[in-house]
Amino acid sequence: MNELFGLVEIIGSLALAISGALTAIRNKFDGFGILIIAFVTAIGGGTLRDILLPNREVFWIHNTYIMYAIIAGTVIAIFLRNKHQYIYKPLMLFDSIGLGFYTIVGVGIGISQGLDAIFCILIGTITGTFGGVLRDILVNKAPIIFHKEIYATISILGGGMYYILTYTNLQVVAVKFIPITFIILARLVVLKFELSLPSIYSKEEN
């Protein structure tokens, strides 16, 4: 169980590191710059979560495996870089995988600390999305999350689904992987069909 949990965290780190490194490469960052963006993208969400919650060490400070995953993700992204025209799709795929895995890790930690449902889901969403927010700020783009709010919505829905599933008799593996799969697929469907939430502004206001 704990091993599974650790594995989820490492897969999330790897996916977000690749997503961060690919973004840095699109912006023509060099060597260490790519590594720094990969690192910040991979650990940003979980780090903010661990800073906000009491009695938690920052999750990566004694976990060299996560560092190796980030370095591996950076190297993979650098090797893929020549396929410039193909970068957008894998970037979105890895970003979605990271969103799914990290949201569920975050909600689980909120539950283990006995937080109210609303805060469990909030912590999950922070864990899943904040690394990408930092990534976008550091490469000087407007954070995707503020313009594609469906991104946060999917994280919230998947986190809520996980919270409810923990009250069922389903096996632990299913309880985790059903909402993770939901988040990844929902994100990809939204991207594929360019869906968006209805605007609060009427036409006259625009």
Which positions lie near its own copies, rule CB under 8 A?
28-34, 36-37, 47, 51-54, 57-58, 61-62, 64, 67, 78, 81-82, 84, 115-116, 118-119, 137-138, 140, 142-143, 145-147, 149, 152-153, 197, 199-201, 205-206
Q: How far is the CB of 54 from its own copies (least distance, A)?
A: 5
Spatial contact of 131 and 16, defined as CB atoms under 8 Å apart: yes
* CB of 152 vs its own copies, minimal distance in Å: 5
**For its own copies, which is the closer residue by CB, 70 or 104?**
70
- Closer by beta carbon to its own copies, 63 or else 166: 63
> At its nearest, how many Å lie between its own copies and the CB of residue 171?
30
Q: What is the dihedral of CA 21, 24, 25, 28, to 10 degrees?
A: -160
Comparison of 70 and 175: residue with beta carbon closer to its own copies: 70
Asked if residues 163 and 175 have their Cβ atoms less than 8 Å apart, the reply is no
Please write down the long-range contacts of 162-169, taking CB distance under 8 Å and 24 or more positions apart.
162/103, 162/104, 162/107, 162/108, 162/124, 163/107, 163/111, 163/117, 163/120, 163/121, 166/111
Minimum gap (Å) between residue 177 Cβ and its own copies: 26
Query: Are 72 and 79 within 8 A, CB to CB?
Result: no
The smaller minimum CB distance to its own copies, of residues 1 and 204, is found at 204
Q: How far is the CB of 18 from its own copies (least distance, A)?
A: 16
CB nearer its own copies, residue 15 or residue 138? 138
